[in-house]
A and B are shown apart, each in its own frame.
Chain A
Amino acid sequence: MKKAPLARRLVAAALALGLPAVAACSSSPDDTGTDPGKGDPTNGADLYAELCASCHGNAAEGGLGPRLAPWTRSFEELASTIDATMPQGEPEKCEGDCASDIAAYLTSLTLDCDSARALPRRLRLLTRREYRATVTDLFHASMPTACTADADCNLGSESCTGGVCTADPCTLHTFVYEAGAQNPTTVHVAGTFNGWPGTIAGGGWAMQKLPGTTTWYVKHELAPGSHEYKLVLNESEWLADPANPVQVGDFGNSALTVSCSGNTPGAGGLGFDPAKTFPAESRPTGFPFDNSEGALATNVHVDQYWQAASLLTDAAMTDMANLLPCDLAVDPSACASDFISDFGARAFRRPLTETEQAKYESLFAKAPDPETGIRIVLRTMLSSPLFLYRSEVGEPLGDGTYRLTPHETASLLSYMFWGTMPDAELFAAANAGDLDTPAGIEKQARRLLADPRSRPVFETFAAQWLGIEQVPALSKTAALFPEWNDALAASMVEETRRYFTHVVFDGTHKFEDLLVSDTTFADATLATFYGVSPPASGFGEVPSPDNRRAGLLGHASILAVNAYADQSSPIRRGLFVRRSLLCQDLPPPPANAATVPAVDPDATTRERFAQHTSDPACHDCHQYIDDVGFGFERFDATGKYRETENGKPIDASGDMNDLEGLGTGTHAPFKSLRDLGLSLSKSPTAKACFARQTYRFATGRLESAEDVCGLDELAVAFEQSGGDIQELWIKLTTLDEMTRRK
């Protein structure tokens, strides 16, 4: 085995001896011939970000490299250590003033976790998904259609849920059969999704007759992808669906395609997606989520908001009786005044101030007619920064810090758990002052978490954390992977989303179950790809094939996205584990880094990469990457299982060294992907990283020094709860960082 560079061996040796790691490398200023001086902490902060943060964390809280804040020993010791040994492998990059400046910055970082902690006061621009959900709620709630049965709603696109018609998800398909004079005794649906059963007892989907009509219907979950089917009357007469013009094949089967693309949660209620052409969010380096606090509204945003406001207003004003709380014709200004205070309080997520109320009333009054007045009020509100940003500004506590107002807290909770504006109960809790206490906040947080509306947000979190939103955009070389297609890619993403929410809501809620499991979720498309029996219908729980795909690491979505078009990528997969699962970032590859070694028909991928990273210059970093990545080698570029490559057996064993951080000297040997998942599921570093990713998602922040105390507290609580993900989210809502500002 190749020897590690001197500095690392020293660090490892120091840790083994129980000595402070950096002290072991320290040398007196005389040794290096420099006098560090006092250093400039401001310049040091820049230099730290450039040279150190990738290993030691953005806030010096530790990453792959050891934690540096708070620094408890001397400035001189730190400066001379940096001078002589850092950055790892390239100590000549930072000497003298550079080292002193960084040391000055690091020693200036004090962590006082006991006194009041607060994040900066701020405004958070709604993301596209938040905008969609918000306007849907904003207008839907003004026009609820009461119902007692599905038949009271638009049968083809809505179901009666909780007494209100709600839009069906894109995967819920409604089959409708108009029997006319036929008057059959039974009607059922048989097709590729349920194995073409001839009888209802054999698994056919029985349709039910709408009372007082000759119409039969059934709603059923269908996996994204293409399906063929027929209707069966009286369990004997097979016919193509008369309501479906698309027929295929020799038997004239009815065919339909279920696609959720472009069909976003919330868009269904409006009948169109108002944010369809909004600019995409840009995500700062290292921040995988769409809700970065730094998001800017540019000239394009302003124009798009303007257009969306106009469309939404036009749509809402087609039903004035539902939009307005009163009859505009009776007393226009009184009615407008009511509308402004009611609708305004929901649009701005807080009651309007007197000034705001007067200003909107005057906008209404200046309009040439009442209807135009309402139009102007509505469009102005929807383009207003008071609607487009959710406020986390707070009110002063008198000690220099601020506390979020009850309404700001309500929004914080609703966007965190539901990705949308507060519901009536949250507004009521805010108005009643129930959100002023931690207990009141926790009560609402638990309610929101238990509501099914939280599931899409958890799915979004998982998809963004794991980077699998890219899967539908992947292209795989068709000649090598003929199975790859859009439907398969969609099913892969769906598997991971369902699996994550299953663990969080239906299973044990435990982090370790994300990484170790005997089952997963698949539809017929994915089951075929995996080589397992498909579930009875749609997506269902299936056994993890041969225990090879135990947990998230074996999900085809993750395997395929961390691979090239024509080959697997041990580097991308290893980096995925280090960055996404362990929060251990690594410096970018150096200049002159070679590219992927060319495909060699006589070698396995591991052999090609082993050669490439045996170079000492590469090994420094790649020992932390490739060895982990090789554990995934039994899965090709699409995530398909394989035991050989180019006729040679695949070696998927290795050692995830320094799993708990550089220099910790830990070993986690593995023989398979299952072993790798097992090690990660038990790793304190992996759990702390999951807590950190959750914190990032909830706060919209890539952590800095201000976040370290909260992250520490969260990680400890998560570990103590045995890795309970639900409790992690609840714990988050109780942190000072969530509700205090400065």
Chain B
Amino acid sequence: MPQRASLSRVGRRGLLKALGGAAIALPFYQLLAPRPARAEVTAKRVIFFYFPDGVALPSGGQSLEDDFHAQGNGSSFTLSKQQEPLAPFKDDCVFLRGLSLGPTDSNSHPGGAKKLLTGVDGGYGQSLDQFLAQTAGASSPWHHLYLGAMSRKSKDAPLAADAYISYPSPGQSIVPEDNPLTAFNALFGAGAGKPGQTEPDPTDVSIIDGVLDDMTSLKARLGTVDESKLDVHLEALREAEKRIKTVGQPVPATCDSPVAPGVDEASLYKDELFPDILRAQMDLMVLAMSCGLTRVGTLQASYHTSELIMSRFPGTEMYAPNFDMRSHQASHYGSAGTDLYGHFKKQCRWWMSQLAYLLDALDKRPDGDGTMLDTSLVVCCTEVSDGNTHSHDNLPFILGGRANGRLSTGRALSYDGVRHSNLLSSIAHAMGQNVCFGQECGGPLGAS
């Protein structure tokens, strides 16, 4: 008989209400800070970095040396071949093995994508990035930034909602912004309110007040009709209001003079330019954070089962000019020794090189006594563990950055079958939100 928790339909809001906002003992606490640090210190920002279709794990029957996971425990461990690009940041990361997304939809890519950041069976909940946007991120000009690289096939091509990982309210995902220039313009250009403005634009103030007035009367008139839909909209309007009305906000020292991304619109959905697009989006995310525009970001590289032709990436070890190797096809490598297997491992290595780029971009920017890498938390995730089996067990989560001292890095940790919602709670704690997030938390988790 299947095990089934009783919280399945309790969304984030419901759960928070049920908990009455009480601080819950944090099972992952050891993960975050082995010696309890000053509790008021939190990570300054968090970036969720998503890549599709899992990694190569021994569940497909191949030899152990090809396991994606780091080998060893605690501070004594070695990186796998797939993780090689992370070698320069080995001491800045925590490599987690054994975490499980739970049994629901456990054979499915979309099922995994839905559970990944919501942490609930079936995925019917608010995602952690959106929860943090409403809480830790709510004081920033932009509560949340969701950037994508080819997160759909073309600008106008539709995609199923379960291809995305960010859910403002249960069951409703949103689509990332795939165009770095559009996002840049919103952050630094034509949008409402400018960072560092000396006085609010009186026209803008009148307009946002007028719009908010329409919204609040509408909500009052409708009561509970479409309440959660209007709540999301209202919050977004309040965010704009704050950007419009805030003056004299000092621009952080970490903020470089913003330069518009150099990716043109015609290039946004060309497989061979994917590396450029992803890099532009990572640069923009780091730029926005360095300028204090947001504390919570989600980077979605491609989408599950996308068939991105990674063999067209120039200058990479995957490059094969006369052959189109599609990413999802490669993930079904069958067994060790196949061509697909060889290619898939190269793909995984490439995703890790992109994570390394992001960590490096953070590390290049000074912040306080250290760098932005010291004060940030990067959560690297994918929706299945072994791409070949679609397993939802033994997920390859990697945490990067020291989370402003909350995370003790340079370790490999094992959690045999523990639900990943515990990790999501730990991330919430690192961001100063002492809640139990998702389906399940409270299983005894050691830091070993």
Contact = CB atoms under 8 A, between A and B. Distances in A.
A303 B187 CA distance: 10
A386 B218 contact: yes
A121 B218 CA distance: 14
B233 to A, nearest CB: 4
B72 interface: no
Q: Which of A43, A295, A301, A376 has the most CB of B within 10 A?
A: A376
Interface in B192-237: 192, 202-203, 206-207, 210-211, 213-215, 217-218, 222, 225-226, 229-230, 232-233, 235-237
B142 A299 contact: yes
B240 A303 contact: yes
A742 to B, nearest CB: 10
Nearest to A471: B157
A296 B182 contact: no
A281 B175 CA distance: 7
Contacts of A474: 153
Given A386-B214, A470-B153, A122 B122 contact: no
Interface residues of B, number: 82
A43 B159 contact: no
Contacts of B214: 356, 380, 384-386
B169 A43 contact: no
A609 B323 CA distance: 22
Given A296-B233, A299-B142, A299-B236, A473 B157 contact: yes
A132 to B, nearest CB: 12
B274 interface: no
A38 interface: no
A475 B309 contact: yes
A297 B240 contact: no
A98 B6 CA distance: 12
Contacts of A46: 8-9, 122
B105 interface: yes
Contacts of B217: 355
Contact of A284 (B105, B157, B161, B229): B161
A246 B191 CA distance: 39
Contact of A363 (B164, B210, B309): B210
A464 B329 CA distance: 26
B171 interface: yes
A375 interface: yes
A76 B174 CA distance: 42
Contacts of B332: 594-595
B1 A97 contact: yes
Interface stretch (B27-35, B106-114, B364-372): B106-114
A591 B213 contact: no
Contacts of A443: none
Given A297-B236, A302-B240, A473-B154, A98 B1 contact: yes
A385 B230 contact: yes
Interface in A273-292: 277, 279-285, 288, 290, 292
A544 B142 CA distance: 55
Contacts of B186: 300, 303-304, 307
B294 to A, nearest CB: 10
A393 interface: yes
A93 B2 contact: yes
A379 B208 CA distance: 9
Contacts of B84: none
Contact of B110 (A281, A285, A307, A368): A285
B259 interface: no
B326 A565 contact: yes
Residue of A302, A473, A474 with most partner-chain B CB within 10 A = A302
A653 to B, nearest CB: 29
Contacts of A300: 146, 174, 177, 186
Contact of B232 (A98, A298, A380): A298
B239 interface: yes
A292 B172 CA distance: 10
B334 interface: yes
B326 A473 contact: no
B429 interface: no
Contact of B334 (A94, A279, A595): A595
B403 to A, nearest CB: 24
A42 B334 contact: no
Contacts of B177: 279, 300
A368 B206 CA distance: 11
B4 interface: yes
A249 interface: no
Interface string A33-52: 00000000011001101100
Given A279-B177, A282-B161, A359-B213, A592 B329 contact: no
A531 interface: no
B158 interface: yes
Given A50-B122, A472-B154, A590-B107, A282 B159 contact: yes
Contacts of B230: 123, 385
Nearest to B162: A285
B340 to A, nearest CB: 8
Contact of B222 (A125, A366, A393, A596): A393
B191 A306 contact: yes
Contacts of B143: 299
A393 B224 CA distance: 11
Interface string B46-58: 0000000000000
Nearest to A376: B206
Contacts of A644: none
Given A123-B229, A281-B158, A303-B191, A376 B324 contact: no
Contact of A367 (B171, B206, B389): B206
A45 to B, nearest CB: 8
B190 interface: yes
A154 B269 CA distance: 35
Contacts of B192: 303, 306
Contacts of B346: none
A299 B176 CA distance: 12
Closest 6 CB pairs of A and B: A595-B332, A473-B154, A380-B210, A591-B107, A473-B153, A282-B161
29 contacts: A47-B4, A50-B104, A50-B122, A98-B4, A123-B225, A123-B229, A279-B177, A282-B172, A282-B173, A283-B159, A298-B232, A299-B236, A299-B239, A300-B186, A301-B236, A304-B186, A307-B186, A363-B210, A375-B203, A380-B214, A383-B207, A469-B156, A473-B153, A474-B153, A475-B271, A477-B324, A566-B324, A593-B107, A595-B340
Interface of A: 42-43, 46-47, 49-50, 93-98, 120-123, 125, 277, 279-285, 288, 290, 292, 294-304, 306-307, 310, 355-356, 359-360, 363, 366-368, 372, 375-376, 379-380, 383-386, 393, 464, 469-470, 472-475, 477, 479, 565-566, 588-596
Interface of B: 1-2, 4, 6, 8-9, 104-108, 110-111, 122, 142-144, 146, 152-162, 164, 168-169, 171-175, 177, 179, 182, 186, 190-192, 202-203, 206-207, 210-211, 213-215, 217-218, 222, 225-226, 229-230, 232-233, 235-237, 239-240, 269, 271, 307, 309, 322, 324, 326, 329, 332, 334, 340, 388-391
